Amino acid sequence: MRQLKRWGPGLLLVSPSIILVGVFVYGLIGRNIWTSLGRRTDYVTDRVLNPGGYLNYVQLLSDPRYHHALWNLLVLTVVFVAGTMFFGLLWALLLEKGVTAEGVFRSILLLPMAVSFIAAGVVWRWLLSPAQGADQAIGLNQLFLKLGMPGLQSAWWSDPGPFAMAAMAVPAIWQLSGYVMALFLAGFRGISDDQREAARVDGATEWRIYRHILFPQLSPVALSALIIVGHMSMKMFDLIYSIAGSNSYTAEVPATLMWIQLFPQSDPIAAATNATVLLTIVALVVIPYLVHTHRSERGDR
């Protein structure tokens, strides 16, 4: 009873949030899974549209259109994550020792982060216009022509090849590299100067200092950045919707396919199935990360 008196009020103060998160996150996820297992037949022809139960998942996972969307997601995620990590780390390395006007550089490199995906998508739709050649090119293709680099022209995401989604990662990299830079910069600055000094006194080269002293200490930061950027990529909807339009097959990923299933196709069961698989993919990455963070925090205490 005395125990309850000690921690009861705390639980009470959190209880509104527990109820809200419980209902809006876990309750609705449960409801969505329930929807995804439903069975539905065509009113007129009696043809089975959604076979029901786990067969809905079999139907989705064996659909070539879904394979195409998954492949696009894989290409997008690999290029997006690699690109943001590369530029984020590069910029952090350029800035971390301190340069004149560092604040200005940093603010500009982070600026795209303050703009919505929808707003950025409007200008990138124009920049990534597929038209090529002196009379027709607009956007980046036209800029490349003006700069005397016609070889850089590209059909971007409209390209029929299997790696077109790599172009969709370009605006995403533009938006989020600054974020990864900020994470790495904070990581570098959390390491005391004494460690570098000691290594320098011992005669270590700058490269060896980075390789053996600084980079190992940044691996938790790199992991955080990887998880955050990776899960954003799997959820990415706004940017693709804004650039490719609401109904693009070429640039389709599971998140945009879900919208198509729900509205143009009026098939909420298939949409719920797709969303549940997407959630599972994200959960497979995020849950181990949360458990790992939780454990290492306990270790600190």
Partner 1 sequence: MSTTELDRPDPDLTRRTTPPGRGRGQVSAGAVLRYALLVLSVVIVLVPIYVLVVTSIKDAATISTATAWDLPSKLSAAGWVSAFERLAPSMGRSLILAVVAAALSSMLGAMNGFVFSKWRFPGADIIFTMFLFGMFIPYQAVMIPLQAMLLNLPPGFDGIGKLIIVHTVYGIPICSLIFRNYYATAVPTEIIEAAKVDGAGMIRTFISVILPVSLPGFVVALIWQFTSAWNDFLFALFLTQPTNGPVTYALQELAGGQNPNYAQIFAGVLIASLPTLVVYLVLGRWFIRGLMSGSVK
* Contact assessment for residue 84 and residue 173, using Cβ atoms and an 8 Å cutoff: yes
The whole-angstrom separation of Cα 95 and Cα 134 is: 39
DSSP state of 73: H
Instruction: Kindly state whether residue 115 participates in binding partner 1, applying the rule CB under 8 A.
Output: yes
CA-based torsion, 65, 66, 71, 74: positive or negative: positive
Q: Is residue 183 a contact point for partner 1 (CB under 8 A)?
A: yes
Of 49, 68, 71, 102, the one binding partner 1 by CB under 8 A: 102
140-159 positions binding partner 1, by CB under 8 A: 142-143, 146
CA distances from residue 215 to 106, 181, 219, 222, 226 in whole angstroms, order as listed: 21, 14, 7, 9, 15
Shortest distance, position 58 Cβ to partner 1, whole Å: 19
204 is an interface residue for partner 1 by CB under 8 A: no
Task: Answer yes or no whether residue 216 interacts with partner 1 by CB under 8 A.
Answer: no
Applying CB under 8 A, among 57, 228, 248, 250 the residue interacting with partner 1 is 228
At 170, phi and psi to the nearest 5?
Answer: -60, -55
Candidate ranges 49-57, 58-66, 207-215, 237-245; the one touching partner 1 (CB under 8 A): 237-245
Query: Does position 221 bind partner 1 by CB under 8 A?
Result: yes
Residues in contact with partner 1, total (CB under 8 A)?
Answer: 105
Calpha distance 25→276 (Å, rounded):
13
Which residues inside 42-101 make contact with partner 1, applying CB under 8 A? 87, 90-91, 94-99, 101
Reduced to 3 states, what is the DSSP secondary structure of residue 245? coil
Name which of residues 251 to 290 contact partner 1 (CB under 8 A): 255, 258-259, 262, 268, 271-272, 274-276, 278-279, 282-283, 286-287, 289-290
Nearest to 78 by CA among 255, 244, 233, 275: 233
